[in-house]
Structure formats: C-alpha cells, structure tokens
Amino acid sequence: MSPTPVIVAPEPGLTTRASRFYLELKANGIGCGFATVCNRLTGPRHARSAGLDYSSEATIIGDMVKDRDCIIVDDMIDTVYPAVLS
C-alpha cells in the first residue's frame, strides 16, 4: 500500500485555502496529510524581478512529504513562484 498523499500550501498565506481542500477530502473519506512550506529568501529582494539567481531556505511544517505524492494548492498559476520553491 502506498502512503497517502499530502496537501501542501506552498506559502503560509495559502494555508487556509489548502486546509479547506484538505478538510473536504477528509470529510469524503479520502485520507491525506497536510503541510505548509515557509520560504525565506536569502538573496537580495530585487534579484527575483531582475531575473538574477538567488537562494532561499524552505521549512516544511506539518506531515512528512518525503516519498509521498504532494498536491500543491496555489491560488494562481501565474504566481507559481512559491510552488516552484516548494
């Protein structure tokens, strides 16, 4: 049996949206985990808009995601940057 999937909010601001999806799945008998990614940029703020390389540190809060399918809940695909970092 494979592990249950994890619903992931790619940034703290999307935790409410992702948790609604998680709770709806649970209410319908679909087992899954939940996690939120907290990203912290370590490079200059202007680097992203200038298209330059920079680094970030990500901390996952919640259920383990290693070796599990993750369903990333984002609000808009044109701002997919937090999901990419995740």
Summarised one tens digit per residue, pLDDT across range 42-51 is 666 555 555 5
| Strand arrangement, sheet containing 56-62 | 56-62, 33-41, 6-9, 70-72
pLDDT value at position 38?
Answer: 85
Alpha carbons within 13 A on the beta-carbon side of 13: 7
**Would you list the domain boundaries of the chain?**
6-76
The ranges of the chain with pLDDT < 50 are: 1
